[in-house]
Structure 1
Amino acid sequence: MSPLVKYTLGRLGLFVLLFVLLLPLPLNILVKAMIALLLSAVLSYFLLSDWRNKVGEQLGDVASRRAQEKERLRAALAGDEDAATAGDRATPVDEKVDEKK
């Protein structure tokens, strides 16, 4: 399971658990929800730190791959043939011209 899904479900689970525990209190339902939200945020900071770090790593990897692809595309647009042929989806212009003939 993806670290993002685990972390999201963990945060949601903490909120629901705390909200259910606060139900017997004689408070307005919105006040109970606000208290549960604040407590779940604080508890998730400590209890779910490992999952949060894994999500950060995953997002960092995705961002670096996107940055590399962006640089490759910019180099290809600037005329670098090696960068144009290095991409998975890129086809050199000469091959397209040969196919049409």
Structure 2
Amino acid sequence: MTADRTKHVKMLAEFLRVPFSEDEENAGVPEEVVKLCSFENRKGLPVNSIGKADRIGGLLMKNSSFFRSGKVGDWRNHLTEEMANKLDCIVQEKLKGLGLAF
């Protein structure tokens, strides 16, 4: 999907039965949707980069905490091995019986 984002935005629009018109495509609307929805753009918006969100239990988290790079293996920068193992066990427990191999 990341290799051709515009193609997938068009496919999504068609799936939702609101395809882009020829005029919209010629005007670059699909490309603008990709730009506006990009990680870089959303991360830089003031609402996402400043302020704090009130979580259940009164724990405040910076809004910027909700944005991570999403790179493979980046969890090592945020979780300990013990935390990762515990999370793996929870996922396996919740998904057991679905025929998935871990």
Q: TM-score, length-normalised on structure 1?
A: 0.27
Question: Which structure is larger by alpha-carbon Rg, 1 or 2?
Answer: 1
TM-score by length of 2: 0.27
Higher helix share: 1
Task: Return the structure number with greater relative CO, CA threshold 8 A, min gap 6.
Answer: 1
